[in-house]
Structure 1
Amino acid sequence: MSTRTRRRSSHSPRWLFAIIGVVVVGLLVLLLMPMLVMNWVRGYLQEEAFRNQLQQIFGTQLQGEVELSPLRWTGDEVTAAEAAVQTTNGWKAQLDGLHLTLDWNAFRQSKWRTVGTSVDHLTLERLPGEAVLTTPTPAASAVAAPSIAQGSSMPEWLRSYLPTRAEVDGVKVARLNLLHPGPWNVRDAKLRLAPWQQGETSLQAVAEGGLVETPLRLPAQTVPIKLNLDRASMRLSREDLHLKEARLTWLDAGEVTAQGHFQPHEKRWELTTQVVGIPLRECLTEDWKIRLSGFLAGDFKIVGSPNALPVITGKAELKEAVLTALPVLDQLAAYTRVERFKRLILDIATAEVKISGTRRQFERVVLQSNGLMHLEGTLVIEGDQVDGTFLLGVTPETLKWLPGASQHVFTATNPKGPVGMSWTPLRITGTMQAPREDLSARLAAAAGQALLNAPGEIVGQGSQLLLSPLVGQEAGALPGQVIKGATETGGKALETGVKALEGISGGLFGR
């Protein structure tokens, strides 16, 4: 009895020690497993197989082809001289100087996480249709992304310890070029990408600095407009680029604020812009720079596609606008003896604008100089041809020195216009270099009619005073010749008077 007890007691400690040893070894293995996996991963990351695996992973996710130059590791930091990406939906990216650091603390939390990611130079280019990659690539949503350990020599039982989630703690691009087959491009901008986690379908980004090239060209510009980019915030996805807000400047003077969308699948883009303080001297041709000064403001909507010119609609307004050195203004000053016409301050200058190709359409045009004149109507410029229909209103005081103007010319009505003005229709035709108007001829005819209808003594005493601004000093001093013609035949005299007045009245816009 005692012998059996001694045998049992001698064997029990051995089994107990064995069980304890197994437990200890198991605990050590469990504790050391992450370290074993991490050490294996550290070694695998520096192998050529890892670079090939990355190319496959990113190619699947981006639905295209990816090429990475050899990776160089310094501790946890890795650099690649260059990388190239081309997708099946027509985008090509060239990255130079890729730098990033792996966060191994996140690895212990079952996450792949990069920090301090930066790119020295990124060129993102939209390819023309004939250059788009045609090799079929399965959609990322239809094919599971390859694991980093697939195809490696890592034991199967260790792979379960690998992270299954990815996270990028932001990216900085020192120099970005965004190129497009169309006329819109961004060059030399700085880009910051917000943190991104696997599963998110969009990415927030902020661009600063750089130059924005546009297809827009003003008459005074020999090349299309280029804008300086101050700051732009946007959201990027596979289907859409949403421009939340962009602030730009032009020639260090005017400011432009823009919002919009670019939809590559629909091949369409749309921008809404607010323009403030654009100097008119930068918008006008050389001959008009000395005639019109001020600043351009307005709200515009621009819609376009890669292979078509943009369509611009909106409302334009001139601030602090002044018209001067115009023949028509000098004539009006002489006709009406109102010196304000020589330097016409435009208190109101607005128009609704639509520009498509060579056609420029201005609706609801309003030009007003308080207490002097009001012009409203429409103007269409097709290529070089001009076609304008307006109503011109002036104060009655400005007509008192124009013979017959009140009775024969300014006889129209405009119930919606300012009260107390005399109105007449005005047509402008011709070309941009030689516009023609119909007001001078009608004023001349009215003056001739008034001369024929006036009593002889009025003609003799006041013709030079009334007509000299219209016909000149010499003709104004010889009213008898006109009266003589009138006594022969009224129609012939009127024709003679009108021709004489038209010949020296010059016409609008220097005609």
Structure 2
Amino acid sequence: MPDVAKGSYRAEGTDGTVKLPWAWAPRMNLGRARLRYQGDTLYLTSADFQVYESGSLELDGEMSVKGEGYIFNGNLRDVACAEILPESWRQRLSGQVKADFTVEGSKLSPKVSGNVVLADGVLTALPLLDSLSAYADTTRFRRIALQEGKTDFEWQDGALALRNLVFSSEGLVRLEGTLRVDARKNLDGRFRLGLVPGILARIPGAETEVFRRGERGLLWTDLHITGTVDHPEEDLSKRLVDAAGLRMFEILPETGEKVLKFTKEVIGQDLEAHLQKGGQILDQGKTVIEGAKGVVEGVGEVIDIFGGSKKEKKDE
């Protein structure tokens, strides 16, 4: 119907379903939407949707009808991790997701930015956590309840940047930092990792040479993630074994083989000689790196979902 200003109109819609042409986008059940048109601009005053099983989505924004750009703000609430994560991650991460985001479009590529918060999060069955449990000789890392999980994000041209990322489990571990994944899936992650004292006490030198006492009563160290989504690399394993040297290995009485403590991975003479000379180690972190690979591959699948690179639905 015509609005107050000349040449302006307003409209209202209720009920109905919005279906977007991407496999990753959920069916959106409309509650109520209010729109206004004036001066070649379409304004979405407000719109609310029910998404997934029990989630809600609120949108507002504006769009040029001449194709000169658009901007929309969104608020997503009460969505279970299992509803949006790839199948390989549904048994590994649980909790409720909420997000505030902005989508900006122009003649250039669109940009999506905002923040994500995970409530009641639980991490379990991760290869990396299992490896850390083995090194620390504890089961505390096999299931981690997160008191805090959040990050700011920005996605454009297939590249994703995570800033102010925090994962924290009180009395156990805290991870803080940033992660960039470029369009070719190259990684550059720079983190601070904090552990409660005593976790790595069985690894000689870990809590005195690699980690340092800091805030929150934790022991802290820097962690650098490089490589690619398919072949990630991290620098912590090398520093742990460098600090411990030959003290990280033991001889099995029944076979006489030399193995890496806790994981019982057999080492060769070349690695032993390398350690005795005090050189840098190339292969000793294999177990942890392989575990990290599974984690980052899962992150890559999540990135694909937000980036819209999944195959489009054939029937739409």
Shared fold (TM-score, shorter chain, > 0.5): yes
For residues 208-219 of structure 1, the aligned pairs below 5 Å read 208-214=14-20
* Structure 1 residue 407 corresponds to structure 2 residue 208: yes
Give yes or no for contact 1:437–1:507 (8 Å, CA) kept in 2.
no
SS at match of 1:296: strand
SS at match of 1:398: coil
User: For residues 206 and 343 of structure 1, do their structure 2 counterparts lie closer, same or farther at Cα, with a shift above 3 Å needed?
Assistant: same
Match of 1:392 in 2: 193
Match of 2:182 in 1: 382
Give yes or no for contact 1:437–1:508 (8 Å, CA) kept in 2.
no
* Structure 1 residue 430 corresponds to structure 2 residue 227: yes
Match of 2:9 in 1: 203
SS at match of 1:407: helix
Following the alignment from structure 1 to structure 2, what is the Cα–Cα distance between the partners of residues 330 and 422? 20
Comparing 247-256 with 363-372, greater Cα deviation is found at 247-256
Q: Which of 86, 91, 94 is residue 285 of structure 1 equivalent to?
A: 86
Give yes or no for contact 1:292–1:322 (8 Å, CA) kept in 2.
yes
* Structure 1 residue 273 corresponds to structure 2 residue 74: yes
Give yes or no for contact 1:367–1:375 (8 Å, CA) kept in 2.
yes
Following the alignment from structure 1 to structure 2, what is the Cα–Cα distance between the partners of residues 239 and 399? 63
SS at match of 1:302: strand
Following the alignment from structure 2 to structure 1, what is the Cα–Cα distance between the partners of residues 111 and 234? 29
Match of 2:243 in 1: 446
Letter in 1 for 2:261: S
Q: Which of 292, 310, 314 is residue 114 of structure 2 equivalent to?
A: 314
Provide, for residues 390-447 of structure 1, a one-character-per-residue CA deviation record: whole Å limited to 9, x for no partner: 1101111212122220122113x76xxx421111111112222332222222222222
Following the alignment from structure 2 to structure 1, what is the Cα–Cα distance between the partners of residues 53 and 40? 34
Letter in 2 for 1:509: A
Match of 1:509 in 2: 292
- For residue 341 of structure 1, report the CA deviation from its aligned partner: 0.7
Letter in 2 for 1:210: G
SS at match of 1:399: coil
- For residue 493 of structure 1, report the CA deviation from its aligned partner: 4.9
SS at match of 2:145: strand
- For residue 495 of structure 1, report the CA deviation from its aligned partner: 4.9
- For residue 223 of structure 1, report the CA deviation from its aligned partner: 4.6
Following the alignment from structure 1 to structure 2, what is the Cα–Cα distance between the partners of residues 198 and 321? 49
Give yes or no for contact 1:408–1:446 (8 Å, CA) kept in 2.
yes
Give yes or no for contact 1:300–1:315 (8 Å, CA) kept in 2.
yes
Following the alignment from structure 1 to structure 2, what is the Cα–Cα distance between the partners of residues 226 and 508? 35
- For residue 451 of structure 1, report the CA deviation from its aligned partner: 5.7
User: For residues 229 and 363 of structure 1, do their structure 2 counterparts lie closer, same or farther at Cα, with a shift above 3 Å needed?
Assistant: same
Match of 1:463 in 2: none
- In structure 2, runs of 5+ residues without a counterpart are 254-258, 295-316
User: For residues 310 and 282 of structure 1, do their structure 2 counterparts lie closer, same or farther at Cα, with a shift above 3 Å needed?
Assistant: farther
Following the alignment from structure 1 to structure 2, what is the Cα–Cα distance between the partners of residues 345 and 236? 48
Following the alignment from structure 1 to structure 2, what is the Cα–Cα distance between the partners of residues 198 and 258? 24
Q: Which has the higher helix share?
A: 1
Provide, for residues 467-507 of structure 1, a one-character-per-residue CA deviation record: whole Å limited to 9, x for no partner: 631445x77xxxxx99xx78xxx9645459x5674455554
Q: Which of the pair has the greater relative contact order for Cα pairs under 8 Å at 6+ separation?
A: 2
User: For residues 282 and 377 of structure 1, do their structure 2 counterparts lie closer, same or farther at Cα, with a shift above 3 Å needed?
Assistant: same
Following the alignment from structure 1 to structure 2, what is the Cα–Cα distance between the partners of residues 198 and 406? 70
Comparing 332-341 with 199-208, greater Cα deviation is found at 199-208
- For residue 200 of structure 1, report the CA deviation from its aligned partner: 4.4
Q: Which runs of 4+ in 1 moved over 6 A?
A: none
Comparing 424-433 with 391-400, greater Cα deviation is found at 424-433
SS at match of 1:267: coil
Following the alignment from structure 2 to structure 1, what is the Cα–Cα distance between the partners of residues 42 and 113? 22
- For residue 368 of structure 1, report the CA deviation from its aligned partner: 0.5
Paired-residue identity, %: 31
Following the alignment from structure 2 to structure 1, what is the Cα–Cα distance between the partners of residues 3 and 144? 62
SS at match of 1:401: coil
Give yes or no for contact 2:234–2:289 (8 Å, CA) kept in 1.
no
User: For residues 430 and 225 of structure 1, do their structure 2 counterparts lie closer, same or farther at Cα, with a shift above 3 Å needed?
Assistant: farther
Match of 1:353 in 2: 153
Following the alignment from structure 1 to structure 2, what is the Cα–Cα distance between the partners of residues 295 and 508? 25
For residues 412-491 of structure 1, the aligned pairs below 5 Å read 418-448=215-245, 450=247, 468-472=261-265
Match of 2:172 in 1: 372
Following the alignment from structure 1 to structure 2, what is the Cα–Cα distance between the partners of residues 493 and 199? 83
Match of 2:307 in 1: none
- For residue 385 of structure 1, report the CA deviation from its aligned partner: 2.0
RMSD: 3.3
Q: Which of 252, 258, 261 is residue 53 of structure 2 equivalent to?
A: 252
Comparing 234-243 with 421-430, greater Cα deviation is found at 234-243
- For residue 510 of structure 1, report the CA deviation from its aligned partner: 4.6
Q: Which of 122, 125, 129 is residue 329 of structure 1 equivalent to?
A: 129
Following the alignment from structure 2 to structure 1, what is the Cα–Cα distance between the partners of residues 160 and 4? 49
SS at match of 2:238: helix
User: For residues 408 and 241 of structure 1, do their structure 2 counterparts lie closer, same or farther at Cα, with a shift above 3 Å needed?
Assistant: same
